[in-house]
Amino acid sequence: MTTKNLLVELFVEELPPKALRKLGEAFAGTLADQLRALGLAGPDSVVTPYASPRRLAAHISHVWLKAEDKAVQQKLMPASVGLGVDGLPTPALIKKLQSLGADTSDPKTLLAALKRQGDGKAEALFWDSLVTGATLDAGLQKALDEAIRLLPIPKVMTYQLESDCELPGWSSVHFVRPAHGLVALHGETVVPVRALGLRAGNTTRGHRFEARQPVLEITNADAYAQTLRDDGAVIASFAERRAEIERQLAARAAEVGDGCRPIEDEALVDEVTALVERPNVLVCEFEKQFLDVPQECLILTMKANQKYFPLLDAQGRLTNRFLVVSNIRPDDASAVTGGNERVVRPRLADAKFFFDQDRKKTLDSRVDGLSKVVYHNKLGTQGERVERVRAIARAIGEQIGGAALAASADTAARLAKTDLLTDMVGEFPELQGIMGGYYARHDGLSEDIAFAIEDHYKPRFAGDELPRTPTGVVVALADKLETLVGMFGIGNLPTGDKDPFALRRHALGVIRMLVEKDLPLDLAALVAGAAPVFGERITDASLALTDFVFDRLAGSLREQGFSAQEVDAVLALRPQRLAEVAQRLQAVRAFAALPEAPALAAANKRIGNILKKSEGEGATVNPALFAETAEKDLYAAMQATLPAANAKFEAGDHTASLQALAALRGPVDAFFDGVMVNADDPALKANRLGLLKSLHEAMNRVADLSRLAT
């Protein structure tokens, strides 16, 4: 049976730009998956998604007009239930077969078609039938309905559609945007499917203003993209349109010269790709006087409000040029560039006004105002929160840098949240911290304090840089600990994919700072030290929070390439200095590569099980009580090996410490082969347990080696 390519398009009103890419991929993917499941498309079918501001479409290659019939064997019921004592079908069997469409008029013919096969201890009846393959008309209808149902629609609209049947009237339709056209072509043939109150045809519409004709006829499935490009002035493929925008952005920036480059923002490129059908990148400019405003403000207002691409010079400084992605290509683009320049000017003027107004008040003068801003109804105001962060920051600063660091951290923590009360941050919340740094410098504060205020939210996202100075690290650590301890203390925990207070991100931020800054701080002590600043507002959730942090650490380490066994072995000991974890992991990996490792890991697991059953026994070891040669040899080997291993551990050389234990494999194996631990003599038993306990403690200083046992 020959195949043809299939094209399905939904023509709609402007789709939500931030969701367009996912909508296009989901529509095409679900459509193809459903057709494959019905046997109408094979695993070699190629799926090409299309998504533009006004259409979702999919091109699927090698689609059959009808799926192949399939032979199916179905279990009916136990033979004792389906057949009577006379060997004839019972009413229950006849009813079951009738439901399957079988002809039950002749019992003898029916019995000949049945199969009796063993099914466990009894026999069961089976029925062989031929299932007719789905037709494309019915299969595509089912696939299209499912593709529409499963679309990841951010927000569903309800609109009215006039009935196209004989009875006049209106019906309610629920979809992401009102739909106005449906195309379904199998080769050149229209597939008569319906969706959203529309009948499928072979016509669509192109660009609102630049299409050659208002209605485009798609002659066959393979002509879709080219017809839209040539006659409709539309690049239907999201990926192709995005690549064209990136090409034009780079070309226009190169034309400006001076090493200029557009700001890098993948999300902005995606959003703009979803806003235009025929991209045309143009160069615009604004007055240089606006460059006196911090460039973060100007960049943000151009990106967020206008979807423009600011141009940076070779040193990364903002220029007074920016790029606009237009949806039209007029012969004279001056009206387009002029219009965009007029639109951006008030935005930049607002930013300059906010910046000038904010600098009329010092950050210090805004501190009292934080007491009027509610942070959380159970945790008080921002002013109270600041006092908690200050207390935590002072304690951490004193511990790692003495009085000087504690004092600078206290000053930065006191002022860190004051920019929340500024006009600029009120307009652009994304600039909190950044604007505080600018205003701190304007107030004459040191760079150290300005950097700390700016950096105390870092890392803001995965891969973000850490605070640049010790003061910034201390304040950032204190800020995140205050949030974590407070939220856990009132029971505000993340659930599933919901994490409104970004506690997972805060936990990863704490981990990164402790690890990458190599801070000499114990995790449990940090958490316990932060709790008292809340007084009676929270209940103690230190254990749950510590477990939460270790869970985030385990996930992060696995993403870095460490195996689950390696991570479990190290984190089972709950090492409090997180900066040591990476070194311990490398030591475990090196140990696991030794030929002695599997036997020692298995022995370690065995020892652990023995000690669990004999908890409290064997506190000391008396060499005079050894009765067997194997236990004497093990004790001697431990005396020769463990001091060196312990010395390496204390020196921080975890790899050498673990590798030294390899010498114990032989004596350990011999011990378990020749010594009965649970001896009848209580003193002998306790002594042997004490020996194993000493060995267990020595072997598990770096990691729980039993986790490496397979």
Name the β-bridge partners of 510.
Answer: none
Q: Is the CB of residue 43 less than 8 Å from the CB of residue 36?
A: yes
CB-based contacts of 478, cutoff 8 Å, min separation 6: 389, 390, 392, 393, 396, 409, 413, 530
Number of Cβ within a 10 Å radius of residue 91: 8
**265 vs 92, more confident:** 265
Query: What is the SS3 assignment for 540?
Result: coil
Q: What integer pLDDT is reported at residue 619 of this predicted model?
A: 64
Q: What is the pLDDT of residues 554-578, one digit of tens each?
A: 999 999 999 999 999 999 999 999 9
CA torsion angle 253 257 258 262 (round to 10): 0
Residue 268 has pLDDT above 80, yes or no: yes
Q: Is the CB of residue 705 less than 8 Å from the CB of residue 604?
A: yes
Q: What integer pLDDT is reported at residue 165 of this predicted model?
A: 52
Q: What is the pLDDT of residues 454-464, one digit of tens each?
A: 999 999 988 89
In order of 509, 594, 607, the CA distances from 604 in angstroms are 35, 15, 5
Token look-up 């234990």 returns 661
CA gap 184, 192 in Å, rounded? 8
Which pLDDT band holds residue 681 (cuts at 50, 70, 90)?
confident
CB-based contacts of 106, cutoff 8 Å, min separation 6: none
Alpha helical stretches, state H, 42-180: 79-82, 91-99, 107-113, 136-149
Q: Are strands 157-162 and 170-175 parallel, antiparallel or unpaired?
A: antiparallel
Best CA proximity match to 588, nearest among 612, 606, 564: 564
Residue 169 has pLDDT above 70, yes or no: no
Q: What is the pLDDT of residues 17-39, one digit of tens each?
A: 999 999 999 999 999 999 999 99
Residue 8 has pLDDT above 90, yes or no: yes
Residue 497 has pLDDT above 70, yes or no: yes
In order of 154, 415, 501, 502, the CA distances from 498 in angstroms are 16, 30, 9, 9
Structural tokens at position 109: 């013919």
Best CA proximity match to 591, nearest among 484, 665, 506, 541: 665
Q: Is the CB of residue 258 less than 8 Å from the CB of residue 231?
A: no
SS (H, E, C) 60-82: EEEECCECCCEEEEEEEEEHHHH
SS (H, E, C) 260-292: CEECCCHHHHHHHHCCCCCCEEEEEECCHHHHH
Q: What integer pLDDT is reported at residue 400 of this predicted model?
A: 95
What angle is formed at CA 488 by the lines to CA 483 and CA 489, rounded to 5 degrees? Answer: 100
Structural tokens at position 591: 């140990």
Query: What is the SS3 assignment for 320?
Result: strand
Best CA proximity match to 382, nearest among 409, 418, 433, 408: 418
CA torsion angle 403 405 406 410 (round to 10): 140
- Report the pLDDT averaged over residues 243-256: 96
- Report the pLDDT averaged over residues 55-78: 85
Residue 202 dihedral angles phi and psi, to the nearest 5°: -130, 25
Q: What is the pLDDT of residues 83-92, one digit of tens each?
A: 877 777 888 8
CA gap 425, 433 in Å, rounded? 9
User: Among 178-192, 232-246, 504-518, 630-644, which stretch is predicted with the lowest mean pLDDT?
Assistant: 630-644
CB-based contacts of 289, cutoff 8 Å, min separation 6: none
* The residue type at 521: L
CB-based contacts of 631, cutoff 8 Å, min separation 6: 671, 675, 688, 691
pTM beyond 0.75:
yes
Q: What integer pLDDT is reported at residue 130 of this predicted model?
A: 66
CA gap 142, 38 in Å, rounded? 9
CA gap 668, 681 in Å, rounded? 22
CA gap 558, 585 in Å, rounded? 11
CA gap 698, 658 in Å, rounded? 10
Name the β-bridge partners of 41.
Answer: 63
In order of 5, 145, 237, 504, the CA distances from 35 in angstroms are 12, 12, 22, 39
Best CA proximity match to 147, nearest among 4, 9, 3, 277: 9
Which pLDDT band holds residue 451 (cuts at 50, 70, 90)?
very high
Residue 644 dihedral angles phi and psi, to the nearest 5°: -70, -40
For the stretch 441-452, what's the b/e string if a residue is b when 16 or more beta carbons lie within 10 angstroms of its beta carbon? bebebeebbbbb
Q: What is the pLDDT of residues 91-150, one digit of tens each?
A: 888 788 777 777 777 776 777 677 877 776 778 888 777 667 789 999 999 999 999 999
In order of 93, 214, 692, the CA distances from 226 in angstroms are 58, 16, 77
Residue 290 has pLDDT above 80, yes or no: yes
Which pLDDT band holds residue 67 (cuts at 50, 70, 90)?
confident
Residue 7 dihedral angles phi and psi, to the nearest 5°: -130, 130
**485 vs 168, more confident:** 485
Q: Is the CB of residue 480 less than 8 Å from the CB of residue 430?
A: no
Around 704, how many Cα atoms within 13 Å sit in the side-chain half-sphere?
Answer: 17
Best CA proximity match to 601, nearest among 654, 669, 678, 693: 669
- Report the pLDDT averaged over residues 319-334: 94
Residue 346 has pLDDT above 80, yes or no: yes
Q: What integer pLDDT is reported at residue 26 of this predicted model?
A: 96
Q: What integer pLDDT is reported at residue 215 of this predicted model?
A: 94
Which pLDDT band holds residue 313 (cuts at 50, 70, 90)?
very high
Q: What is the pLDDT of residues 43-53, one digit of tens each?
A: 889 999 999 99
- Report the pLDDT averaged over residues 651-671: 89
Which pLDDT band holds residue 419 (cuts at 50, 70, 90)?
very high
Name the β-bridge partners of 127.
Answer: 74, 114
Residue 4 has pLDDT above 70, yes or no: yes
- Report the pLDDT averaged over residues 421-432: 95
User: Among 121-130, 487-496, 501-510, which stretch is predicted with the lowest mean pLDDT?
Assistant: 121-130
Strand intervals (E) in 272-385: 280-285, 309-312, 318-326, 374-376, 380-381
Q: Is the CB of residue 476 less than 8 Å from the CB of residue 455?
A: yes
Q: What is the pLDDT of residues 637-658, one digit of tens each?
A: 999 999 989 899 888 899 999 8
| DSSP labels, 552-619 | HHHHHHHHTT--HHHHHHHHTT--S-GGGHHHHHHHHHHHHTSTTHHHHHHHHHHHHHHHHHTTT---
CA torsion angle 16 21 26 28 (round to 10): 110
Q: What integer pLDDT is reported at residue 622 of this predicted model?
A: 84
- Report the pLDDT averaged over residues 437-446: 97
Best CA proximity match to 708, nearest among 611, 639, 608, 638: 608
Q: Is the CB of residue 641 less than 8 Å from the CB of residue 661?
A: yes
What angle is formed at CA 162 by the lines to CA 161 and CA 166, rounded to 5 degrees? Answer: 140
Q: What integer pLDDT is reported at residue 684 of this predicted model?
A: 87
Residue 352 has pLDDT above 60, yes or no: yes
Q: Is the CB of residue 50 less than 8 Å from the CB of residue 225?
A: yes
Q: What is the pLDDT of residues 177-194, one digit of tens each?
A: 999 999 999 999 999 999
Residue 467 has pLDDT above 60, yes or no: yes
CA gap 139, 3 in Å, rounded? 15
Q: What integer pLDDT is reported at residue 618 of this predicted model?
A: 54
CA gap 99, 103 in Å, rounded? 10
Token look-up 């039950």 returns 104
Query: What is the SS3 assignment for 322?
Result: strand
Share of the chain above pLDDT 70, in %: 96
